[in-house]
Amino acid sequence: MKTGSIISYILAAIFIVLSFLFILGSFSPDGSPSWLVIGIIGLILGFALIFAGVRLAAKAKDLAATYTLNVDLPGNVQLDTVTCKACGSPLDSSDVKIINGAPMVECHSCGTTYQLTEEPKW
Ligand SMILES: [Zn+2]
């Protein structure tokens, strides 16, 4: 997804530079007026590619956001009714941290940490 948008940006830059040269050339004595038309079409294509690149980047961002949401959701559900074993204060998803790749719950009141895999014993 990211590579796709980078390629469109590079193509857009090439299109815009070439179109600019065509437009400049159409005003020079050696140039032909039809180059102006080619240049304008090239510019439009270049901006269309930038637009496509932005769309691709936004799509990639959406996918990343969805992924984060999927990770957060099980934590939210599991911790809904969980309270701290040491002090009894309710724990929520903001207390969940990933430590060494394992999901850990750190109580915001007393600082006790639990591993999420121990959750059924609570
Ligand atoms: Zn606690």
Domain boundaries, the chain: 1-78, 79-122
**Phi, psi (rounded to 5 degrees) for 16:** -70, -40
Q: How far is the CA of 90 from the centre of ligand 1 (A)?
A: 8
Q: Which residues surround ligand 1, an ion (CB under 5 A)?
A: 84, 86-87, 107, 109-110, 112
- Per residue in 55-98, pLDDT tens? 888 887 777 666 655 555 454 454 456 788 889 888 777 778 77
Distance CA 116, CA 3 (A): 36
Burial class from Cβ neighbours inside 10 Å (0-12, 13-18, 19+) for residue 91 reads: buried
Q: What's the CA-to-centroid distance between 106 and ligand 1, angstroms?
A: 8
Cα 21 to averaged position of ligand 1 atoms, centre (Å): 68
> What is the pLDDT, as a whole number, of residue 79?
44
* Size of the chain in residues: 122
Residue 1 is predicted with a pLDDT of: 53
- The reported pLDDT for the residue numbered 90 is 82
Tell me if the pTM is above 0.75.
no
